[in-house]
Each structure stands twice: as C-alpha cells, then as structure tokens.
Amino acid sequence: MFTWGVATSAYQIEGAAFEDGRAPSIWDTFTRVPGAIINGDNGDIACDHYHRYEEDLDLMNWLGVNAYRFSISWPRVIPNGVGSINQKGIDFYDRLIDGALERGIEPWPTLYHWDLPQALQDRGGWMVRESVDWFAEYAHAMAERFSDRVKNWMTINEPFCSAWLGHLSGVMAPGIKNLEKAVAASHHLLLGHGKAILAIKDVKESTKVGVVLNFTPAVPASDSQEDRVAAQLADGFDNRWFADPIFKASYPKDIVEAFDIDVPIVGNDLSIISTPTDFLGMNFYFRQTVAFDEKSTPLKYRQVTPSAERTFMGWEIHAPTLTELLMRFSSEYQPNEIFITENGSAWDDQLIDGKVEDKNRVSYLERHLEALFVAKAKGAPVNGYFAWSLLDNFEWAYGYGKRFGLVYVDYPTQKRIPKSSAHYYRERIKEN
C-alpha cells in the first residue's frame, strides 16, 4: 500500500511552550534574539496543536491520509535533555498516537526536528561528543514508551539545517557561525542517528528506523569548467556530506579537502553512522543554480537566481528534478525504501469569503506527485509521500509570514480552513 501522509514538526505547531512541565528548547532561546526572526515571531502559541490535536487529527481523517509524520519535542518529554521523564509530555504523545490509530492513521514520529533542550545546549549541544549519548538515551526512552504502537521511527530531520544553518551561517538556532564547530555538530548529529537506530532496535528489533535528509540538487550557472566544479561542491556540501557517511561509511573527499578541517572521527564512528537504515526519508523542495566565486567561504561558490518559476520562498519550481534525484539516489546509494517525507510550497495565500484558492500549491503538488510516480515506474523504491504541511505554521526564521499548509490557519482565532490544495490532495488520495 502506498503511504499517503502529511508532515509537521513540534516547535512549528504545538505551542504550549511553557505548559505541563515543558522546558525551553534552543528555538525558544533563538526566537528571543533581536532580529533573528522576521517580525519577532516565536512558537509560544503556534497552531496551538497541543490543545487542538483532536481537531487536527479529524482534519487528517477527512483528508484520507493513512500516515502522520510529526516530531516529538525533546524538552517536553525530558525537560533537562537527560534524566527524569516528564509524564505529562509522554501523556500528550500517548493521546496523539492513540488518536491517530483510532482514525486508521499510522504515527510516524521524528525524534529530532531541531528543538534541542536548552539545558543541553548549555553543556555544548551538538558541538560536543556527549550529545551522541544524550540523543541515544532519549531515543531509547521514547522507543520504550511508544514502540508498542509506532512501527516507523525517524531519527534526525535534515542534519544539514542543524549543522550548517545552525552552526555555520547561524540563521537558525543555536545561531553559531564557526566552520569547525559546524563540522563537529554534523558529525555528532550523524553519529547520534546511528546510535539511535541501535537504541530503538534494542527495544524492539522489528521496528523500522530511517533518517530524514533534505536534498537540493545543484546545476551549474554556465557550461564553464569552474561553474561545473561549483555545482559539484554544492552537491557535496548539501547532499553528499550527509548521505555518504550514512550509506557509504565515508565523508566526501572533495569537501573534506576543501574545508581543510579534521572531522572529529573516533574509532568505529563511521560504522555506527552507517548502521543499515530501513528506509530513507527524503525531503525535496527545489533545485539550486550555482556559480564559481573565488571570494565565497568555506567553499568557492555562490547561489545565483536565474529567472524561473519560483514559490513565495524564492525557491525554483522544477519537478523533473525530483524524478532525477530519486533515480540517482536509488542507484548510487541503494536504500531499501524511500519515502518523500516532505515536499510542498509557500504562497501568499489570501482568505477571501472564507476560502483560499491556492492554485499554485495545487499545481506544485500535482507536478511533484507526477514526478514521484515517474520514478516509481522506472524502479525507484519510493513507497510514500508526506505533504509539507498539514497546517500553516511557524516557518523558523521566516516566522508566520510563509504559509506552507494545505489547511489555512487564521492565527488570531486558530480557525482551520482547508485550502483548494487540501481538497485536491483528498481527491488524489481517493483516486489512488
């Protein structure tokens, strides 16, 4: 059976940031940094999903999805990151998981969608090696509580963003700008993923575990040799740095050399990182065009923006890239199974007479689903699709201004209004 789902993440929708024993995460801290988030927005209330999850599960039921990808908020269930469990936090995810199952929807939790407990950041966060054991301990505790009902776990969402955007460009929490620290964080995130697989399987061997990687294929701005090398570097930095260790037990040589920094590998780290996964979660949004740039650091290229069809994020829309990516990944890395764990688009949605006619989002969705099924017909082992996102939500550094939902959220009233794209997705699932 094909998996039809929707995806969300804890910090982006839950709200209830200071309720029932939840402690701050690095995003609670980062959203207080002046200028870090457009409009000074934060996730204190978000979509109030913590209180409205029943209504949101009903929406999923109406859509007809058979799977829900959400994330567990680490500081809600283990406020200090390690040690004592907050039972009220566990109770929330118990209710959510049971509520999904009652509606015939499989729960697909992600353990880490960027909201590290601040208590652990204060001890060095992902930059220090201890983070690997903190994460494995958390994974084990969650598997013990939920693996009686959860069949599919995802360890880490987009280590690219946590490592590079959180520790190199600093546009995301924890807002650090240091290549050496970013490389260390990337290695510990990957190692944490490997150890989390072992921890989950230790609780229940038959549980399926995967990782979620975002892929941004790169095309050269011109045919010049320099631009072609630039595209290879961009591919290495964005894609291969994370996929190679997991699927090939090595870091890409060209990028290691270009960084000229030692990756803090100890002993058999790479064999732990490459512990076999049951599936790959692939997030795909857009492709990038890059040009050689002598002055750029740490790699000599920059992104350029040729005129093209683009979303409200400025991201190029190019659905055939998804087919190519699925084909390339299948042959180069040979995952057992692939699920598109995120794909979607932001638009300047307008609520008019109680309706949101988001033709652009429908078209984006239609084209990407088609691209997926082309790859599947050609033999890519892709068995599911999760639309990002069920609801409009807190889009990280962009705040609430960028709407990705199939369902419109009127923030002042928290009213949910299915957009045209929700109706389209519902029909598309039925057809199948």
Nearest CA-CA partner of 39 in 432, 405, 395: 395
316 binds ligand FCB (CB under 6 A): no
Give 269 or 342: the residue with its C-beta nearer to ligand FCB: 342
Q: Measuring CA to CA, how many Å separate 201 from each of 45, 198, 218, 388, 401?
A: 35, 5, 35, 28, 40
* Bond preceding residue 71 cis, omega within 30 of 0: no
Task: Write down the least CB distance from residue 246 to ligand FCB, Å.
Answer: 17
Alpha-carbon distance of 383 to 338, in angstroms, equals: 6
Binders of ligand FCB among 210-229, rule CB under 6 A?
Answer: 214
Task: Write down the least CB distance from residue 431 to ligand FCB, Å.
Answer: 26
330 binds ligand FCB (CB under 6 A): no
Task: Write down the least CB distance from residue 58 to ligand FCB, Å.
Answer: 23
String of DSSP letters for 109-163: EEEESS--BHHHHTTTGGGSTHHHHHHHHHHHHHHHHHTTT--EEEEEE-HHIII
Give 214 or 277: the residue with its C-beta nearer to ligand FCB: 214
Task: Write down the least CB distance from residue 345 to ligand FCB, Å.
Answer: 9
Q: Given 3-state DSSP classes, what are the helix, strand and coil percentages for the chain, each rounded to the nearest 5?
A: 45, 20, 40
Task: Write down the least CB distance from residue 232 to ligand FCB, Å.
Answer: 23
**Does the active-site annotation cover 316?**
no
Size of the residue set binding ligand FCB (CB under 6 A): 12
Residue of 342, 370, 395, 427 marked active site: 342
162 binds ligand FCB (CB under 6 A): no
Alpha-carbon distance of 408 to 415, in angstroms, equals: 8
Q: Which residue has the tokens 């209830």?
A: 16
341 binds ligand FCB (CB under 6 A): no
Residue of 14, 106, 158, 316 marked active site: 158
Q: Fill in the per-residue mask, 368 to 397: x = in contact with ligand FCB (CB under 6 A), - = not in contact.
A: --------------------x------xx-
Stretch of residues binding ligand FCB (CB under 6 A), selected from 155-163, 202-210, 315-323, 366-374: 155-163
Burial class (CB in 10 A: 0-12, 13-18, 19+), 131: buried
Contacts of 374 (CB under 8 A, 6+ apart): 323
Contacts of 267 (CB under 8 A, 6+ apart): none
Give 212 or 231: the residue with its C-beta nearer to ligand FCB: 212
**Does the active-site annotation cover 14?**
no
Binders of ligand FCB among 251-310, rule CB under 6 A?
Answer: 283
Total residues belonging to the chain: 432
Q: Which amino acids are annotated catalytic? A: 158, 342
Footprint of ligand FCB (CB under 6 A): 9, 12, 157-158, 161, 214, 283, 342, 388, 395-396, 404
